[in-house]
């Protein structure tokens, strides 16, 4: 079987219009994939230069002539999807550690218009650093050095400005990156003219990316390569759904010519808060409320939850009846509850995807922090609208409290236990609040309803965790206590069956 190469998939030589910091699967499966689609339709006609920051090895790209395959597998609107696309949009991959001078040369390219990044979440943080190192260490310093080289080469020309789009999963990622660059410019004394050029001619766009992209398992990789007829060490596996929301104006829209009416998956708007809020509440919030209960049932993945007869009903009802109505539209025309319901149905399709091993135990990482960020505002909005207890969320919260019950501590790791198939399964509680709950759970006495109520009230009223007192929500503490007692006495399976009415 031959290696994927240009002789198999020749591509036209296109001007390098995009600089990309990062080689990860998310970039390959979303921005690069969408740019390839635009090139195929003759709407962009541009290639991507990729900068690899983590190490100096770029052989995996060079050996495949910078080609790779995206395998799209999943469910969309109830139908199975199985598609593949060879991405040829990458012209070359440079290692920052050994080829920094070549990276800086790209700044002089008059065709360059766009910079995309995906580093770690802390990769946008400001670090006081000399940008004239070869190379600078942090990503903001690398970007500042590149932009300064661009400024020097174009003499402050407006026509040679750039659009910068970070895709890190950080709120206001564009603003955060701009601030870091401005601070580095000041620290390195790059001058007022550069600062002015940066302000008026470099547009930093907040953005939101939404697509699950992974490397396939070895078995899936072998099966796909047999189907394709060639080997691909960069094989990228993704779901059908994808969204890239970019905060920008007409200038940004004109520059990003790969986005037009034929690509509804790319949204360019002056305010993308609605899209961020919708994803945070509907997708992420549902994950956080459903994961503990699913795991207590002995399930392993999100797809397992959706194939479970009562758990799937619980997820659908909670999402559509309790979470969807609380999502604000931020005054955006057409973004009413129907648009949120459509998104929710897309999310349910994504949850059902049998090709994605989305492990519940991985989703449970830092569950407490996620519960506060994703679901507290949803709870409060539900009460504002309906003045009633959201029963599914109350059960989900009770399951979260039980999931956080550690039975012992080993070498600083708190461990919980569940009954599965007649045996006991031990699981790690990977949460900064695990010690907090370990102590609080010891206050519950066997067959003592009062101690259960005291425990729940103590947790819900802790404003240091929730940024508010959740016992102020009428009836919520009582509902959580009732469901927690049922989970402990009747077990998760029986409790859920009775809850659903099955």
pLDDT(13) > 70:
yes
Q: What whole-number distance in Å separates Cα of residue 115 and Cα of residue 408?
A: 49
Output the pLDDT for position 17.
97
Tokens representing residue 252 in the block: 């940004």
pLDDT digits (tens, 9 = 90+) for 33-66: 999 999 999 999 999 999 998 776 778 899 999 9
pLDDT(334) > 70:
no
Mean pLDDT on 177-197: 97
Residue 31, H or E segment: helix 31-40
Any residues with CB less than 8 A from the CB of 249 and at least 6 apart, and which? 270
Q: What angle do the packed helices 434-441 and 449-460 form, to 10 degrees?
A: 150
pLDDT digits (tens, 9 = 90+) for 349-396: 999 998 888 899 999 999 999 999 999 999 999 999 999 999 999 999
Confidence of residue 76 (pLDDT cuts 50, 70, 90): confident
Confidence of residue 22 (pLDDT cuts 50, 70, 90): very high
Output the pLDDT for position 157.
64
pLDDT(159) > 70:
no
Q: Collapse the DSSP code of 25 into the 3-class scheme (helix H, G, I; strand E, B; otherwise coil) and give the result.
A: helix
Q: What is the mean pLDDT of the chain?
A: 92
pLDDT(331) > 70:
no
- 3-class secondary structure for 411-480? CCEEEEEEEECCEEEEEECCCCCHHHHHHHHCCCCCCCHHHHHHHHHHHHCCHHHHCCCHHHCCCHHHHH
Q: Spell out the domains of the chain, with CATH numbers in brackets.
A: 2-269 (3.40.50.720), 273-500 (1.10.1040.10)
pTM of the entire predicted model:
0.88
pLDDT(335) > 70:
no
Phi, psi of 89 (to 5 degrees): -75, -15
pLDDT(333) > 80:
no
Check: CB of residue 404 under 8 Å from CB of residue 431: yes
Selection from 345, 207, 356 nearest residue 283 by Cα: 345
Give the highest mean pLDDT range of 2-16, 308-322, 352-366: 308-322
pLDDT digits (tens, 9 = 90+) for 215-249: 888 888 899 999 999 999 999 999 999 999 999 99
């Amino acid at each position: 079987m031959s290696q994927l190469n240009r002789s198999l998939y020749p591509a036209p030589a296109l001007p390098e219009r995009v600089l990309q910091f990062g080689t990860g699967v998310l970039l390959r499966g979303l921005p690069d994939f969408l740019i390839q689609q635009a090139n195929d339709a003759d709407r962009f006609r541009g290639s991507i230069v990729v900068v690899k920051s983590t190490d100096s090895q770029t052989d995996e790209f060079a050996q495949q002539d910078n080609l790779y395959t995206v395998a799209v597998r999943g469910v969309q609107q109830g139908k199975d999807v199985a598609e593949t696309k060879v991405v040829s949009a990458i012209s070359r991959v440079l290692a920052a550690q050994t080829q920094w001078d070549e990276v800086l040369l790209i700044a002089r390219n008059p065709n360059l218009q766009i910079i995309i990044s995906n580093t770690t979440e802390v990769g946008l943080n400001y670090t006081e650093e000399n940008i004239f190192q070869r190379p600078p260490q942090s990503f903001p310093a690398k970007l500042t050095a590149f932009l300064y080289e661009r400024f020097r080469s174009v003499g402050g020309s407006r026509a040679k400005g750039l659009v910068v789009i970070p895709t890190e999963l950080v709120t206001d990622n564009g603003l955060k990156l701009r601030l870091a660059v401005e601070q580095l410019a000041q620290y390195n004394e790059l001058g007022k003219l550069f600062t002015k050029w940066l302000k008026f001619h470099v547009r930093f766009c907040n953005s939101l990316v939404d697509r699950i992209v992974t490397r396939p398992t070895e078995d899936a990789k072998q099966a796909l390569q047999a189907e394709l007829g060639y080997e691909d060490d960069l094989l990228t596996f993704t779901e059908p759904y994808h969204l890239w929301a970019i905060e920008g104006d007409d200038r940004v829209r004109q520059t990003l010519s790969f986005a037009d009416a034929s690509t509804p998956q790319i949204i360019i708007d002056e305010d993308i808060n609605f899209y961020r809020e919708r994803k945070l509440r509907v997708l992420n919030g549902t994950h956080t409320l459903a994961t503990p209960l699913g795991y207590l049932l002995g399930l392993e993945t999100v797809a397992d939850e959706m194939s479970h007869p009562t758990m799937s009903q619980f997820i659908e009802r909670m999402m559509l009846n309790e979470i969807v109505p609380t999502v604000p539209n931020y005054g955006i025309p057409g973004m009413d509850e129907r648009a949120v319901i459509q998104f929710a149905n897309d999310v349910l399709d994504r949850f059902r995807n049998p090709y994605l091993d989305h492990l519940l135990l991985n989703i449970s990482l830092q569950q407490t922090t996620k519960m506060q960020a994703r679901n507290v505002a949803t709870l409060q909005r539900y009460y504002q609208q309906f003045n009633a207890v959201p029963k599914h969320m109350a059960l989900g919260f009770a399951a979260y409290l039980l999931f956080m019950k550690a039975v012992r501590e080993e070498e600083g790791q708190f461990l919980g236990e569940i009954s599965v198939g007649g045996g006991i399964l031990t699981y790690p509680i990977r949460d900064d609040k695990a010690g907090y709950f370990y102590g609080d759970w010891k206050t519950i006495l066997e067959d003592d309803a009062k101690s259960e109520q005291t425990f729940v009230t103590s947790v819900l009223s802790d404003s240091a965790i929730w940024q508010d007192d959740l016992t102020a929500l009428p009836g919520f503490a009582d509902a959580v206590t009732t469901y927690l007692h049922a989970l402990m006495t009747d077990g998760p399976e029986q409790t859920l069956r009775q809850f659903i009415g099955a």
